[in-house]
Amino acid sequence: MEQKIIDLFAGVGGLSLGAARAGFNVVGAIELDDHAIATHAKNFPSTRHIQKNIHDLTAKEIFEDLKIVKGELSGVIGGPPCQGFSSMGKRDLEDPRNNLFNDFFRLVSELEPDFFVAENVTGILNDKYKDIRKAALSHVEEKYDLLNPIKIKASDFGAPTIRTRIFFIGFRKNKFKNTLNEGDFYKHALKSITVDQALKGLPQKIESTWLKETDSWQPINKEEFGEELFFEKLIGDIPLNIGDKESIKKYCELNLVSGCHGTRHSLEVEKRYEKLNFGEQDKISKSVRLKPDGYCPTLRAGTGSDKGSYQAVRPIHFKEPRVITPREAARLQGFPDWFVFHETKWHSFRQIGNSVSPIVAEAILKTIKDSLANCNTR
């Protein structure tokens, strides 16, 4: 039987892609941001999209808009905005975005799926947010068996980044007897892969004049790819009705990838970058030169237009005196080469930095899917 899933706070679809690869049908995605929902729609053309503020939505509206009925929903997944909880932010208890964490669990209670997965920053477990967590989880604690929050580092699952996040997971009490523990989620993890390995085949000499979307499509050398499963995820494993057909055709038939945008650096900046050791931070730009045999630091999203439109600090390539391209960032976050982002560099980095690694998402959701198939019903 088809297992339907809804992605709340869907962004461009890191969680959605993991769900689709795990065998779920992503029937709905809810996202407020114009650029993010447009990108999600391009990569998930068969998914129904709702562009509304989740704070104002009810389960009744969602069922009506997505044309599904209560009882046929397998899962609800999502990553509520984390800026109010993030160590990179002010950790403001009064940040209005904190309320959206509560809204995720409110909607889970109303939608009554078989399970839910909510992703957030590690700061959410800070004692100062215990009342926010308690209030949010109170919506679901009577209906769901709740696992203890699970802390997951992406590099432990085969994505070449140390991005670490907390996952809240629950199963319907009246339908399933949960038998999962934290260790079970590692059974679908991929072999660890380093920055140098992850960026194989991508162009290293990036022209600073490649600023337009048309210029960002550049050839790659698939012969450089390793035998690791990571590269199989880059090339293929494209679920039915997922992906932009034209972009997939360019990738599969012409070996072209998007997102190879250039960045103009002055000669002075390039000289500074060349002198940096691997892992060393540039004192002026605060960018860190990547370690080829290590993992990428957590990629940040920067701020939206309401917060000044600041671009996040980007890592420096380990061989070239420049910051990384959006496509390199996508590789390091675990996205496949055929997945497309916004045509501009600024929005692409925001979209990637805001995303859950699809590699992590797939491992978690495959484990849940296996559990739903094998666990004893009550």
> What is the rounded distance in angstroms from the CA atom of residue 189 to the CA atom of residue 360?
8
How much is the pLDDT for 280?
97
SS3 of residue 29 by DSSP = strand
Against a cut of 0.95, is the pTM above it? no
How much is the pLDDT for 300?
83
How much is the pLDDT for 309?
45
How much is the pLDDT for 308?
42
C-alpha distance from residue 89 to each of 152, 283, 302 (Å): 21, 21, 10
How much is the pLDDT for 209?
87
Show which residues are catalytic: 82
Among 95-104, 164-173, 203-212, 365-374, where is mean pLDDT lowest? 95-104
| Bigger pLDDT: 236 vs 310 | 236
> Does 311 score more than 60 pLDDT?
yes
The token pair at 66 is: 């997505």
Cβ(338)–Cβ(41) below 8 Å: no
Condensed to tens digits (0 to 9), the pLDDT of residues 221-279 reads 999 998 888 888 888 789 989 999 999 999 999 999 999 999 999 999 999 999 999 99
C-alpha distance from residue 295 to each of 192, 195, 336 (Å): 9, 6, 18
Domains, the chain: 4-190+356-374 (3.40.50.150), 195-353 (3.90.120.10)
C-alpha distance from residue 293 to each of 195, 199, 297, 353 (Å): 6, 11, 13, 22
SS3 of residue 223 by DSSP = helix
| String of DSSP letters for 78-122 | E----TTT-TTS---TT-TTHHHHHHHHHHHHHH--SEEEEEEEG
Query: Between the CA atoms of 315, 320, 322 and 325, what dihedral angle is there, to the nearest 10 degrees?
Result: -70
Cβ(260)–Cβ(329) below 8 Å: no
How much is the pLDDT for 310?
57
Condensed to tens digits (0 to 9), the pLDDT of residues 327-339 reads 999 999 999 999 9
pLDDT confidence bin for 99, thresholds 50/70/90: confident
> Does 211 score more than 70 pLDDT?
yes
C-alpha distance from residue 193 to each of 280, 286, 328 (Å): 21, 25, 14
Condensed to tens digits (0 to 9), the pLDDT of residues 276-304 reads 999 999 999 999 999 999 999 999 875 44
| Region of residue 94 (left: phi > 0; alpha: psi -120 to 50; beta: else) | alpha
> What is the rounded distance in angstroms from the CA atom of residue 359 to the CA atom of residue 335?
8
Condensed to tens digits (0 to 9), the pLDDT of residues 35-66 reads 999 999 999 999 999 999 999 999 999 999 99
> Does 87 score more than 80 pLDDT?
no
